[in-house]
């Protein structure tokens, strides 16, 4: 029986990120995916100017209440970009009322990259992300987000010992599993390292680094990881699939200079059939 998940993050109507990548990726992996949009943006905030934002904080409790009335339950709650501090308490309430008994709260603390918070986010959002991370089962930050969560200096190139310390710090906050992305121990390779505090096991996978940055790859990576875990795959298999999936997406997009706002993940999904 397929798993049922709800993803809480924004909809960027144009630009391949957040819910516009999470839902199709999860669905393609056979995961029944419901959505709880936190906001609607005309485009994502990376590289576009004059974008519009419609906050949905007032609508979210109505949707949650309807699901509760319908006795809908989910195998996982997957959070991404959250732009209003009131929504963090909603996520914690959802964990109590909408998760199955063995369900998981999975937090992708999508709030920062390259040492800086995203446009329009502030320390209140960081505090909110910390609060839901403490209640999460799995957390999937990049290096910048991990630094904000742990309130430590951002290190662009941590060594193995430093990565181990970051991962253990994240699991000490509450999650059983932490997945740290954007890690590189050698030139030409980049990937992710994960730690499970219950087993004490550290796993990692590194793929070829392509010197080109695209928006939305972190959202796709997290969605592939989550899809694999929901399907019963090992953490190692999830890391391998997610890293190689992103490489394929970037390669599929490289020859199109008009497509800098995201990657052509649809073509990679189509090739999996």
pTM: 0.96
pLDDT digits 0-9 by tens, 219-266? 999 999 999 999 999 999 999 999 999 999 999 999 988 888 999 999
CA distance 21 to 26: 9
By the 8 A CB rule, do 217 and 252 touch? no
By the 8 A CB rule, do 193 and 204 touch? yes
CATH number of the domain located at residue range(s) 4-271 in this protein:
3.40.1190.20
Computed on alpha carbons and rounded to an integer, the radius of gyration of the chain in Å comes to 17
pLDDT digits 0-9 by tens, 91-143? 999 999 999 999 999 999 999 999 999 988 999 999 999 999 999 999 999 99
Phi and psi at residue 15, in whole multiples of 5°? 110, 125
């Amino acid at each position: 029986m397929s798993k049922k998940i709800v993803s809480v993050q924004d909809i960027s109507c144009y630009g391949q990120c957040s819910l516009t990548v999470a839902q199709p990726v999860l669905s393609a992996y056979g995961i029944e995916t419901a959505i709880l949009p936190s906001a609607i943006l005309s485009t994502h905030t990376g590289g576009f100017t004059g974008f519009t934002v419609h906050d949905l904080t007032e609508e979210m409790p109505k949707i949650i209440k309807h699901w509760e009335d319908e006795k809908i339950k989910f195998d996982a709650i997957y959070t991404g970009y959250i732009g209003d501090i009131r929504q963090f308490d909603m996520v914690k309430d959802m964990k109590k009322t909408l998760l199955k008994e063995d369900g998981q709260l999975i937090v992708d603390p999508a709030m920062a990259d390259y040492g800086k918070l995203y446009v329009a986010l502030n320390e209140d959002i960081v505090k909110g992300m910390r609060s839901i991370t403490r209640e999460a089962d799995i957390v999937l930050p990049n290096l910048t987000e991990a630094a904000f969560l742990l309130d430590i200096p951002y290190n662009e190139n941590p060594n193995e010992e430093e990565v181990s310390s970051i991962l253990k710090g994240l699991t000490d906050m509450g999650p059983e599993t932490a997945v740290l992305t954007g890690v590189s121990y050698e030139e030409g390779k980049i990937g992710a390292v994960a730690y499970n505090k219950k087993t004490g096991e550290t796993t990692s996978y590194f793929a070829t680094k392509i010197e080109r940055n695209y928006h939305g790859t972190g959202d796709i990576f997290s969605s592939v990881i989550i899809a694999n875990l929901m399907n019963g795959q090992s953490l190692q298999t999830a890391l391998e699939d997610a890293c190689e999936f992103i490489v394929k997406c970037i390669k599929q997009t490289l020859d199109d200079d008009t497509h800098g706002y995201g990657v052509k993940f649809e073509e990679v999904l189509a090739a999996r059939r």
